[in-house]
């Protein structure tokens, strides 16, 4: 079946929402894009890992989602995925 680009754009359903403070989700049809945005470097703290877990659990419940892209919108000074694991913060909180 041939679908024109114009018709494809009309059919395309794009949804954007924030599940947690450090993670946003954009959806286009059956593909979700989870975007991490914890400045300055997307360090993997307990808070960030909890946000990622919550987001993944919510996406898992959505039966319309069939694929996931994990991305970052943080620049330090260029686009990075994650630069560190925040151990000091986690050890200080115990």
The predicted structure's pLDDT at residue 1 = 37
Task: Please check whether residue 29 lies inside any domain of the structure.
Answer: yes
Q: Are 69 and 31 in contact (CB under 8 A)?
A: yes
Q: Which of 76, 67, 66 is nearest to 36 (CA)?
A: 76
- Whether 93 has a pLDDT exceeding 90, the answer reads no
Strand 67-72 versus strand 31-36 pairing type: parallel
Task: Please check whether residue 4 lies inside any domain of the structure.
Answer: no
Task: Please check whether residue 54 lies inside any domain of the structure.
Answer: yes
CATH number of residue 19's parent domain? 3.90.226.10
| Domain count across the chain | 1
Assigned token pair, 34: 């989870």
Task: Please check whether residue 64 lies inside any domain of the structure.
Answer: yes
For residues 90 and 94, what is the distance between their CA atoms, to the nearest angstrom?
Answer: 7
Confidence band, pLDDT 50/70/90 cuts, at residue 60: very high
The predicted structure's pLDDT at residue 33 = 95
- Distance of alpha carbon 28 from the chain centroid: 13
Confidence band, pLDDT 50/70/90 cuts, at residue 59: very high
- Kind and range of the H or E run holding 51: helix 46-61
Task: Mean pLDDT check: name the lowest of 25-34, 68-77, 81-90.
Answer: 81-90
> pTM above the 0.85 mark?
no
């Amino acid at each position: 079946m041939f679908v024109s680009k114009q018709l494809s754009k009309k059919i395309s359903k794009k949804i954007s929402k924030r599940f947690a403070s450090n993670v946003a989700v954009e959806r286009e049809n059956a593909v979700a894009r989870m975007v991490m945005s914890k400045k300055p470097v997307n360090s993997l703290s307990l808070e960030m890992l909890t946000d990622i877990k919550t987001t993944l659990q919510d996406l898992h419940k959505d039966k319309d989602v069939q694929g996931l892209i994990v991305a970052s919108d943080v620049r330090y000074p260029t686009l990075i995925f994650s630069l560190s694991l925040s151990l000091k913060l986690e050890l200080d909180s115990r």
